[in-house]
A and B are shown apart, each in its own frame.
Chain A
Amino acid sequence: AQSVTQPDIHITVSEGASLELRCNYSYGATPYLFWYVQSPGQGLQLLLKYFSGDTLVQGIKGFEAEFKRSQSSFNLRKPSVHWSDAAEYFCAVGRPGAGSYQLTFGKGTKLSVIP
Chain B
Amino acid sequence: DGGITQSPKYLFRKEGQNVTLSCEQNLNHDAMYWYRQDPGQGLRLIYYSQIVNDFQKGDIAEGYSVSREKKESFPLTVTSAQKNPTAFYLCASSGLAGSETQYFGPGTRLLVL
Q: Do A and B bind each other?
A: yes
Please name all residues of chain B whose beta carbon is closer than 8 Å to the beta carbon of A63 when the two chains form the complex: none
Interface contacts (Cβ under 8 Å), in number, total 68
A9 nearest in chain B by CB position: B40
A90, B92: Cα distance in complex, Å: 15
Q: Does B64 contact A (CB under 8 A)?
A: no
Report Cα–Cα, A53/B46, bound state, in Å: 33
The verdict on B50 contacting chain A, using a C-beta distance below 8 Å, is yes
Q: How far is the CB of A93 from chain B (nearest CB, A)?
A: 10
Q: B41 to chain A: which residues have CB within 8 Å?
A: 107
Contact A102 to B40, CB < 8 A, known contacts A41-B109, A43-B107, A44-B90:
no
Q: Per DSSP, are chain B's interface residues mostly helix, strand or loop, or mixed?
A: strand
> Which single member of A9, A32, A36, A41 contacts B98 (CB below 8 Å)?
A32
Question: Does B31 sit at the interface, judged by CB under 8 A?
Answer: yes
Q: Is the CB of B95 within 8 A of A100?
A: yes
CA distance A102 to B6 in the complex (A): 22
**Given A41-B109, A43-B90, residue A98 in contact with residue B43 (CB < 8 A):** no
A and B contact pairs by CB, cutoff 8 A, 29 listed: A32-B98, A32-B99, A36-B104, A41-B107, A43-B6, A43-B104, A44-B43, A44-B92, A46-B103, A49-B101, A90-B42, A96-B98, A97-B98, A98-B98, A99-B31, A99-B50, A100-B31, A100-B96, A100-B97, A100-B99, A100-B100, A101-B33, A101-B45, A101-B48, A103-B98, A105-B42, A106-B42, A107-B41, A108-B42
Residues of chain A touching chain B, judged by Cβ–Cβ distance below 8 Å, are 9, 32, 34, 36, 41-46, 49, 51, 90, 94-103, 105-108
